Amino acid sequence: MNTEEQLKTSFFHKVSISDGARGQLREFLNSQTENFPRGIFEPFVQMIKEDFRTIVIELDNGDGKYFSFSEIHRLNPLIGEIFGELLVQNDQGHKVISVYDRDRLGSMFQGARYHQTREGGSIHTDNVNVPEPWDYLYMSCVSPALAGGENILVDGLRVHQELKASYPNALKELELPFVWEMRGVADELYRAPIITYNEEGEPLFRHLRPYMESAHQKAGEPLKDEQLYAIDVLDALTNSSEFQVRYRMKKADILLTKDAQVLHGRTCFSDAIEAVSLEDYEKGKGKTLKRTMERLWVRKGANDD
């Protein structure tokens, strides 16, 4: 098995739900009952709790027509809470965030949040806006882009091995505190290292460069040369194809990652000219939907270890 195959089998898993399970979901959606068929997703809770760091769950049966946009939107919080507690992701108290391009000219480098732009790059973890750690990133594809928009998944454990083996000075620097902002959540700064370790000694990452650069500026503490060197090395590694798996999510795919061990990003994308947001689509203001992902941040239950 070559390295690439190994990376795919130990790091990236794709699973599909059965026709029977799909039927149960259909019945639930049609009947408007409260009895959500949780059992369908419980095996995946076990998978992500154990060795699997990235799972793609295919809900649809291949042609993307089984569930409507609104049905996927309705299912997401119900599926997400099977994995744990859903966290608030902005100052308006939202637990489900729509990731779509608000404005073709929007940019993270001018203060926008990543999920509001069409920009690619900036491979990162999502656990940067709040100091407290959480566990799983849940992304659901309501609609793919017209062009581009591949998801990039980076094996943080292998990046850490490479840092340790070849760039020990950069690693040491990444283990020291940096300044972070809580963009979109609160107007505060906090300090935390980019790399910390869990009880098993495995590395945990916290990284989103534009937010950190802007936090250092706000704090009046420009990044030092050693810090810039360390972040440059990290970014160079996370952008290397040998540590990446790329996957273009289809309609009704769900991506689950252990956020602190799987850095992620996407390639830039374009929607159709006439594409509209899900809100406008549901109001009948357009027939084509923009690339729309729904994102949940999940903290696994206290008794789940």
- Where along the sequence are the contacts to Fe ion (CB under 5 A)? 126
Q: How far is CA 122 from CA 9, 169, 220, 227, 231, in A?
A: 25, 22, 23, 17, 11
Q: Report the distance separating Cα 271 and Cα 225, nearest Å.
A: 39
Q: Count Cβ neighbours within 10 Å for each residue of 270-292 and write b for 16 or more, e otherwise.
A: bbeeebbbbeebeeeeeeebbbb
CB of 277 to Fe ion, least distance (A): 19
Beta carbon nearer to Fe ion, 64 or 133: 133
Cβ nearer to Fe ion, comparing 126 with 271: 126
DSSP string, 185-229: T-S-EEEEESEEE-TTS-EEE---HHHHHHHHHHTT-PPPHHHHH
Backbone dihedral angles phi then psi of residue 144, each to the nearest 5 degrees: -75, 170
**Cα(144)–Cα(271) distance, rounded to whole angstroms?**
9
Structure tokens at 31: 């009947």
Q: Which is nearer to Fe ion, 67 or 83 (CB)?
A: 83
For the CB of residue 282, give the shortest distance to Fe ion in the complex, in Å: 25
Residue (158 or 207) nearer to Fe ion, CB: 207
Cα–Cα distance measured from residue 161 to residue 240, given in angstroms and rounded to the nearest whole number = 14
What is the closest distance, in whole angstroms, from the C-beta atom of residue 152 to Fe ion in the complex? 10
CB 149 within 8 A of CB 269: yes
Alpha carbons 257 and 29: distance in angstroms, whole number: 26
First vs last C-alpha separation in the chain: 32
Four-point Cα dihedral 78, 82, 88, 94, nearest 10: -10
Nearer to Fe ion, 119 or 126 (CB): 126
Q: Tell me the closest approach of the beta carbon of residue 6 to Fe ion, in angstroms.
A: 25
Instruction: Output 126 or 294, the one with its CB closest to Fe ion.
Output: 126
CB of 99 to Fe ion, least distance (A): 8
Chain residue whose CB lies nearest Fe ion: 126
Please say which residue, 101 or 126, places its beta carbon nearer to Fe ion. Answer: 126
Residue 222 C-beta: closest distance to Fe ion, Å: 26
Q: Taking the complex as a whole, how short is the minimal distance between the CB of residue 172 and Fe ion, in angstroms?
A: 27
Helix/strand/coil for 4: helix
CB of 293 to Fe ion, least distance (A): 9
Integer Cα distance of 35 and 29 in angstroms: 10
Q: Which is nearer to Fe ion, 117 or 277 (CB)?
A: 117
